Amino acid sequence: MRRLFPALALTLFCLCLQSLAARAFEIEDRIRLGAEGGAVLSILSTTDITAAEPLLRAFLEQRPDLAVDYIVASANSIHQAIAEERLAYDLVISSAMDLQIKLANDGFALSQPDAAEVAGLPHWAHWRDLVFGFALEPVVIVASASAFDPGHLPRTRRDLIDALREDPERFRGRIGTYDPAASGAGYLFATQDAGFGNAFWRLAEVMGRLDARLYCCSGDMIDDLATERLLVAYNVVGSYALVSSAKGSDLIIIPPEDFTLLLIRTALVPKTAARPDLGTAFLEFLLSPAGQASLKGTPGMTPVRDATADLPSSARTIRLDPGLLANLDRVRKSAFLVEWTAAMTQP
């Protein structure tokens, strides 16, 4: 039975919320591409520049008259930028499907009833005419090459729990995962993971006893795996790991065979957009045959129009619908993070 420490957990959670509220919108990375002196399309996104740049360049080949100002931020920061600060970005792209649905549900997304490329999209890849999925990506376990003996890779969450318990000193301080209190995507993955059974909470308790490191982003976990500061990272966005592996990093990528979550990377045009016509133009490109073909150049991204491609047999796609809002309820989120904190701070 899980042990809870409500006073400590609630205190930490409140401090975390105060810290997030006091913080201004933060930009993590930025790139500008395209024509000088022309119209500028501004995109606010959780997708790393390395993964996004081929898609941006493919769009600019069709629109050489434009420039793109591409800004990378966390999912929570993006929500803050649009819902609280009302900043004028023309398109929002995020892996945090629940926060995208919330923006739309709260009236911050422009409807796209006339978007020609929406026709033929799978019904599960869009919500109303507001939020549009353009790629599927697996959420995986990633390990350094030296983490496990050959032939003894963990294939399920149960396997990973057993491996950590059998050699705790080897993995102490060298297992990483998202911090769901700080990361929008991390919170989405954790809540969805927990919905499939108790394995998530058993694994959380084991990671807590082994002083797991908590991260904001998949990219930071992958960097620490490359230097072997980490041996294992749990619930990593698969495309980032596969892009790193394609560049020569010695990583082992494991889609869990008990179930592999698939996120739908989504886009919306915010009502605060300075140039909603340009945001719509890029959205149309993302959903077009040319844009969907460009996605195939990024390892780990499966275009939504090609969803019958070679996905893991254990794949479980996170549903893009208002059901995601339930876990964003303040009371429900507080209770989940209290339990998470208890798992991470065991004596």
Do 134 and 286 touch, CB atoms closer than 8 A?
Answer: yes
Is residue 138 pLDDT above 80, yes or no? yes
Same domain, 338 and 209: yes
The stretch 274-301 carries a mean pLDDT of 90
Confidence tier at 8 by pLDDT (50, 70, 90) = very low
Q: What share of the chain is helix, strand, coil (3-state, %, to 5)?
A: 45, 20, 35
Residue 322 lies in a domain: no
Mean pLDDT over each residue of the chain, to the nearest integer: 88
For residues 238 and 265, the model is more confident at 265
The stretch 328-346 carries a mean pLDDT of 92
Residue 323 lies in a domain: no
The stretch 2-18 carries a mean pLDDT of 43
Residue 316 lies in a domain: no
pLDDT in tens, 212-247: 999 988 889 999 998 999 999 999 998 888 877 766
Residue 165 lies in a domain: yes
Token code pair at residue 280: 């719509």
Domain span including residue 171: 137-261+328-344
Q: Of 32, 151, 23, which is closest to residue 159 (Cα–Cα)?
A: 151
Same domain, 281 and 179: no
Compute how many other C-beta atoms are within 10 angstroms of the C-beta atom of residue 316.
17
CATH number, residue 247? 3.40.190.10
Beta strand pairing status for 126-127 and 213-215? unpaired
Do 327 and 194 touch, CB atoms closer than 8 A?
Answer: no
DSSP assigned state of 15:
H
Sequence-separated (6 or more) residues with CB below 8 Å from residue 81 = 25, 44, 73, 87, 89
Token code pair at residue 180: 């769901």
Please name the residue that has the structure tokens 């919170």: 187
Q: Cα separation of 317 and 319, whole Å?
A: 6
pTM of the predicted model, to two decimals? 0.86
Number of domains comprising the chain: 2
pLDDT at residue 243, rounded to an integer: 77
Same domain, 68 and 208: no
Percent pLDDT > 90 in the chain is: 67
Same domain, 219 and 336: yes
Residue 318 lies in a domain: no
The stretch 151-161 carries a mean pLDDT of 93
